[in-house]
Chain A
Amino acid sequence: NAGVTQTPKFQVLKTGQSMTLQCAQDMNHNSMYWYRQDPGMGLRLIYYSASEGTTDKGEVPNGYNVSRLNKREFSLRLESAAPSQTSVYFCASSPGVNTEAFFGQGTRLTVV
């Protein structure tokens, strides 16, 4: 049982490059999330998908787009990377409302 799997684990981008972070869960959860983690700021929600076919903005959506490809997969795209997007990105899933989240191992992204 893999849980939540994120790829890649590490990535270095040049300013202006684009990339997609992939996330897949095998727990049949309805809801999926993308967070970024920065020192001293905890986790901040970028986008979430309450259920297959829906996506909504979180606290810090600017500069990002998402796709809920199917129930298992939820990808995060950076169209034109900026140094301010240097962070650790976590994907998570949960069964539904007010339930605990299950997190992936994270992607450490550096934009130079």
Chain B
Amino acid sequence: AQSVTQLGSHVSVSEGALVLLRCNYSSSVPPYLFWYVQYPNQGLQLLLKYTSAATLVKGINGFEAEFKKSETSFHLTKPSAHMSDAAEYFCAVPLTGGFKTIFGAGTRLFVKA
């Protein structure tokens, strides 16, 4: 069955440092992958999505993710962290048929001044 694993429930970086949030999917290659962001006391909103058109996907707020089939990974990166990036981030994959989406457990990003 398709699944996603996010490594690290908490990640802390300094402002201006590289952000790297890890996501691995199960061995069957998914046609779609999503990253969502959740700010405190809000719902989730889409950061970016992979749709097989390109392995490097650019999203909002300077985030990007690279799909690597050989590593079964879809890690989220941002070159320089801002205080406003502090939030929880979720990797997600739709199951075959597309209506059910599996979410990772989430990674909370802390940004230190």
Contact = CB atoms under 8 A, between A and B. Distances in A.
A70 interface: no
Given A42-B105, A42-B106, A100 B43 contact: no
A21 interface: no
Interface in B85-106: 90, 94, 97-101, 103-106
Interface in A34-86: 35, 40-45, 48, 50, 56, 58-59
Interface in A9-55: 31, 35, 40-45, 48, 50
Given A40-B9, A40-B105, A103 B43 contact: yes
Contacts of A4: 43
A50 B100 CA distance: 9
Contacts of B97: 97
Interface residues of A, number: 27
A12 to B, nearest CB: 17
B99 A106 contact: no
Contact of A98 (B90, B94, B104, B105): B94
Contacts of B42: 105-106
Contacts of B9: 40
B32 A98 contact: yes
A100 B33 CA distance: 10
| A-B CB proximity, top 8 nearest | A103-B43, A97-B98, A42-B103, A98-B98, A43-B103, A100-B46, A42-B105, A103-B44
Interface of A: 4, 31, 35, 40-45, 48, 50, 56, 58-59, 90, 92, 96-106
28 contacts: A35-B103, A40-B106, A41-B105, A42-B90, A42-B103, A42-B104, A43-B44, A43-B103, A44-B103, A45-B100, A90-B44, A92-B43, A92-B44, A97-B94, A97-B97, A97-B98, A98-B31, A98-B94, A98-B98, A99-B98, A100-B34, A100-B46, A101-B44, A101-B46, A101-B101, A105-B42, A105-B43, A106-B43
